[in-house]
Amino acid sequence: MAFTSQAIRAAAIRVPGSKSLSNRHLILAALARGSTRLRGLLACDDCDRLLAALDACAISHRVDGGDLIIDGGADRSERDTTVNLGDGGTPTRFMLAFAAAQRGGACIIDASARMRERPVAEGVAMLRALGGEIHAENHGENQGMAESMRLPMRLPMRVRGGSLRGGRIDIGATASSQFVSALMLVAPALADGIDIHFTDEPTSASYLELSLAALAAAGVNFEVVRRPVLLSAASVGGGLARITIAPQPIAGGTIDIEPDASSAVYPAAAAVLCGSTVTLEGLARHSAQPDIGFLDDLAMRGARVEVVGNATRVSAGKSLRGHDANYARMPDAAVMAMVLAACADGPSLFTGLATLRVKESDRIAAVATGLRALGATVETGDDWARIHPLPARNSAINTRESASLTAAINPAMKVAIDTVNDHRIAMAFAILGLARGGVSIANPGCVGKSWPGFWTSLDLLRSGT
């Protein structure tokens, strides 16, 4: 899919429902002792795969108008079940915990080749510490349990249903917060609940806060103990010292899932790069979603961000400034932020990017490769990247005083971006393509992981409707 440089007219858009909240509420609804109506649930590959996995585990669902109704509380049969979560990191990790919490036979959990490369060892260790019986799936008929336990902790994994008891667990720094969220979500269904003690500042603490918000919306009671922290862009949502969730029923009911802040970063960035205004309908500035912080970063770079009723309006400022930022609390938005920074008037240093190395792709490397192909200088480390502006005819880019960024960036260069089958790489460079042209996106269908209608929405932005 190729792009030519073009401006976008002022537009209003409602991005689809939050993927992070959709995945969390699917698990909570499956554990509820009753029916849960989910309004605004995201329809994408990640959520569809998780829903299919729950269905295979005897959790029935039905569609009522635009809502999805989950009938929770069922136990699996004693027969073994096999599920495949594709490229879904969050669904895979959530299902490992769910399968261990739900009574029934064994559940063999598998996923794509990329997910088989991604880490699960620390999550398996957490589950085992709380009674979960989980081990690498046998690859030969004569392989015994002891030998299976010595296999590398990679998918596929076999989980014995109902083995997870819960209790106290001490957790230090982790590669991902997703397993901790998984424990929190299944805690109400465990005989001993969960008592998590954090010995270090938790990784991606903002996503643990999102899990707490989802639990609260589902009527689950919990206790949180916090330690004092220095409030900053990096530490907001931090300071978690202990989370205690006692065994309790989940009642079900009706859950409204708000628009996805992670998806909203793309139209917001389009407004800034193309000198226009985009109104993000239904997305409140006080959202618990971590990626809402991207809008604060846009404001620091010179954009105008305003609250308009129950919506947020983003408008291009007079210039796009280089600005250093820590993205530890909003890693999903970091890809768009780094690509956007290549159009600023000076370099930007991004820190707090450690988890980007183990996402659907190595996102630091993928962004660096794409921007370097377009002529930018990019420096990288294990958890940081410094983005220098793309080659320009002018020393600074001014989105208001020039007709478009094409006046400042060489539009003749044509580059095919390797998305590495990563939806966020595809969407971020597509937005850049709106501004500079000469960009083509390989494997555009990978956006189906989080926003199947992305290309249609992009066309609407172009037309301003």
| Mean pLDDT computed over 24-36 | 96
Q: pLDDT: is 230 or 117 the higher one? A: 117
| 319 CA to centre of own chain | 29
Residue 415 has pLDDT above 80, yes or no: yes
Active site residues: 332
Quote the percentage of the chain above a pLDDT of 90: 74
pLDDT digits over 373-396, tens only? 999 999 999 999 999 999 863 333
Grade residue 463 by pLDDT with cuts at 50, 70 and 90.
confident
Q: For 300-322, what is the mean pLDDT?
A: 95
Query: Tokens 């720094």 correspond to what residue?
Result: 173
pLDDT tens figures, 85-116: 999 989 999 999 999 999 999 999 999 988 88
Terminal C-alpha separation, the chain: 22
* Res. 32: pLDDT tops 50: yes
Q: State mean pLDDT over 155-164.
A: 96
pLDDT band at 143; cut points 50, 70, 90: very low
Q: Which residues 6+ apart lie within 8 Å of 153 measured at CB?
A: 119, 120, 121, 124, 136
Report pLDDT digits (tens) over 193-228: 999 999 998 988 999 999 999 999 999 999 999 988
**Which among 188, 79, 169 has a CA at the least distance from the CA of 126?**
169
| The pLDDT of residue 235 is above 70 | no
Per-residue pLDDT of 260-299, as tens digits, reads: 999 999 999 999 999 999 999 999 888 999 999 999 999 9
CA atoms of 377 and 342, how far apart (whole Å): 9
pLDDT band at 26 (very low <50, low <70, confident <90, very high): very high
Domains and CATH numbers, the chain: 2-16+259-463 (3.65.10.10), 19-139+149-245 (3.65.10.10)
Q: Is residue 410 predicted with pLDDT exceeding 60?
A: no
